[in-house]
Amino acid sequence: MRDIIRKIVYSWSNIKGINSIDNILDWVDEKNKNTQVLIDKISFDACNQWFYDDKTGKIVNKNSSFFSITGLKIKNDDKIVVSQPIIIQDEIGFLGIICKEINGTIHFLMQAKIEPGNLNKIQISPTIQATKSNFTQKHGGNRPAYLDYFINAANYKIIVDQIQSEQGARFLKKRNRNIIIYVDEDIEVLPSHKWMTLGQIKKLMKIDNLVNMDTRTVLSCIPYSLYGIKYAEVEQLFSDKELCRSIFNEDDENIVSTIYHYVNDFKMFSNFSTELVPLFSLSNWKMSDNEFSCLSNYHFKVVFCDISIEGREVKHWQQPLFEANGIAMFGLITRKNNGKREFLVHAKHEVGNLDLIELGPSVQLEANEIVKNNIEEMFCKLIDDKHVIHDVLLSEEGGRFYHEQNRNIIIEVAKEEITSMPEGYFWVDYRTLNLLQQVNNTLNIQLRNLLSLLEV
């Protein structure tokens, strides 16, 4: 496994695969032109495959499967602090990528996939991206391509196999299985799929809304720090030497116990309580103009869509989607310290988290959310100048969210620029984050997605 991980680092540095980036972009463009997609917003009454169940207080489909939407209230010390709809989807889906060494370089088999909520049709997605309902064919659709590789993953070399959290502000305790397998055998490449190096995928992440959220979370899980690779073995591949040391240099500094002390105190002593309530009992939410929306300026609403997409396991269906009321901002602050790159992370509570709190990015501001502390205030002042390393609009999960794109920004600051931090913020090197990521539901999806943007 150590040799495979080292080769993945090489793939990270390689932007010349068996398919060029221009070839990949032409492939995406051709599919966008030739794939028919029809998505229309409709009224809830016209969404005849779904209904409001008076007994459960949920919006459900006629099979009572797939997912449902209910009301959620969060109390802190008996005071209601959150009142909103939430998606319940208990089943765990596959987000899986096959990788293989081709011409001396590890390539990843990626899919050109359309999700109903995508604002630009095709996005570059994992080899397989399927809910349990999809791959058990509960809705009568076709069996997803390449499924058997992941059902029989034990027959191959497993690089990643983690059950990671999804968006805690939209889902209740939702998780998906992030898995990467390495194969030696020949694989039939369908017209919907192409081989790409890791470096190519990273380059494509710099294009707005091209590489989807599921690809980003799976790739962020690669366990670079588990197998004792030394800085000197891979240093020549990195132009960012501080990042290389941050991943592959061990030292005596260990902040894990400090982080867990804070997180465990929060879990032990916080007074948050969660109550599921009938959706239509939310007094500050109303059904009007064919959408279920908040009477105040909330960061999302629920819409209903009629969907037809060529090439899907199911080609026509109806469903609700959550639509964002604007663009959120997810930001990661980095600095160089003692020859290593460090990242400022924030232990963040979200309403749907499985275990109350996860490590998030430096800044995680929903659309229309106000700035709350000096870190967020400073970040907003720095995002338009020379501090910026990455600034790209990236889509959220198109299977549940309608046209949601968020601004993902990484900025670099000098060590002396941040002298004080609010409680719950920590400077952490990449190696520590990578080790923590091997524990399910420790890094939230926004932080995982930002880390996936890093280039060597």
Confidence of residue 383 (pLDDT cuts 50, 70, 90): confident
For the chain, how many residues are written? 456
Rounded to whole angstroms, the Cα distance separating 155 from 181 reads: 10
- pLDDT digit string, tens, across residues 21-37: 999 999 999 999 998 88
Contacts of 165 (CB under 8 A, 6+ apart): 174, 175, 353, 354, 358, 440, 441, 444, 445
Residues 217-229 as b/e (b if ≥16 CB within 10 A, e otherwise) read bbbbbbbbbeeeb
Rounded to whole angstroms, the Cα distance separating 112 from 122 reads: 6
Mean pLDDT for 68-73 is 97
Block residue for tokens 């299985």: 177
| CA-CA-CA-CA torsion sign (224, 229, 230, 232) | negative
Structure-block tokens of residue 358: 């996860």
The single-letter DSSP state of residue 145 is T
Mean pLDDT for 30-57 is 93
- pLDDT digit string, tens, across residues 124-166: 999 999 877 666 656 556 788 999 999 999 999 999 999 999 9
pLDDT > 60? residue 393: yes
Q: Where are the domains of the chain?
A: 247-272+326-452
Confidence of residue 419 (pLDDT cuts 50, 70, 90): confident
> Residue 126 to residues 62, 98, 120, 147, 402: CA-CA distances in angstroms?
29, 8, 17, 12, 20
Q: Looking at residue 249, what is its pLDDT? A: 86
DSSP state string for 161-220:
EEEEE--TTTBSS-EEEEEEEE--S-----TTEEEEEHHHHHHHTTSTT-B-HHHHHHHH
Q: Looking at residue 136, what is its pLDDT? A: 62
Rounded to the nearest 10 degrees, the angle between the axes of helix 445-452 and helix 430-437 is 130
Structure-block tokens of residue 359: 């490590």
pLDDT > 60? residue 435: yes
pLDDT > 60? residue 349: yes
- pLDDT digit string, tens, across residues 311-324: 776 788 999 999 99
> Residue 307 to residues 35, 210, 315, 404: CA-CA distances in angstroms?
13, 21, 8, 17
Q: Looking at residue 131, what is its pLDDT? A: 78
Least confident of 144-148, 162-166, 250-254, 338-342: 250-254
Dihedral of the alpha carbons of 353, 358, 363, 368, in degrees to the nearest 10? 10
User: For residues 383 and 182, which has the higher predicted lDDT (pLDDT)?
Assistant: 182
pTM confidence score: 0.95
Mean pLDDT score across all residues of the chain: 94
Question: Under a CB-based contact definition with an 8 Å cutoff, are residues 124 and 28 in contact?
Answer: yes
The superfamily (CATH) of domain 247-272+326-452 is EvaA sugar 2,3-dehydratase subunit (3.90.79.40)
Q: What angle do CA 263, 324, 345 make, to 5 degrees?
A: 25
Mean pLDDT for 263-275 is 95
* Three-class SS state of 328: coil
Mean pLDDT for 7-14 is 98
Rounded to whole angstroms, the Cα distance separating 111 from 109 reads: 7
pLDDT > 70? residue 341: yes
Mean pLDDT for 49-77 is 92
Q: Looking at residue 139, what is its pLDDT? A: 54
